[in-house]
Amino acid sequence: MLVTHRIATVTIVDIVPGMARRRREVSDDDRRQAVEDYRVEVQRFQWEAYRNFRWAVAGACIFLGLIGLRSMFDSREDLAANILMVVGAVAGVVSFWVKDWRLLAPAFVVAVAGLVSVAL
């Protein structure tokens, strides 16, 4: 049985009757500080997610480059595709230090283009 109470324009729903919780009063300064703390935490979380994604993409480029390097020495038939994968890997390694999408995105595109060229 759900029991609802209307207290100061805030509707409180009791899952168990009699267990309604009221919001505690918070000063404006405390509320502003809580909002600022929340924004800082969200920004830090987004930055860490961006960093982890960037490292994963760069690692994938490096892995494809290692495959291209190994294939380059095993057989010479797909030399252009293997060179594309190695160039993508080098750009992926450089993107670890540069930390910019302007280098990482083309590195990924070049490495995947090399992989697609090998597959075709």
What are 100-112's pLDDT values in tens digits? 778 888 888 888 8
Report whether pLDDT(18) > 80. Answer: no
Q: How many domains does the chain fold into?
A: 1
Report whether pLDDT(15) > 70. Answer: no
Q: Where do we find the tokens 């290692």?
A: 66
Report whether pLDDT(84) > 90. Answer: no
**Residue 88 domain-assigned (yes or no):** yes
**Residue 117 domain-assigned (yes or no):** yes
Question: Which amino acid is present at 118?
Answer: V
How far apart are the C-alpha atoms of 83 and 69, rounded to whole Å? 8
**Residue 57 domain-assigned (yes or no):** yes
How far apart are the C-alpha atoms of 32 and 42, rounded to whole Å? 15
What integer pLDDT is reported at residue 46 of this predicted model?
93
- pTM (2 d.p.): 0.64
**Residue 72 domain-assigned (yes or no):** yes
**Residue 16 domain-assigned (yes or no):** no
**Residue 82 domain-assigned (yes or no):** yes
Q: Which domain holds residue 88?
A: 51-120
What integer pLDDT is reported at residue 40 of this predicted model?
92
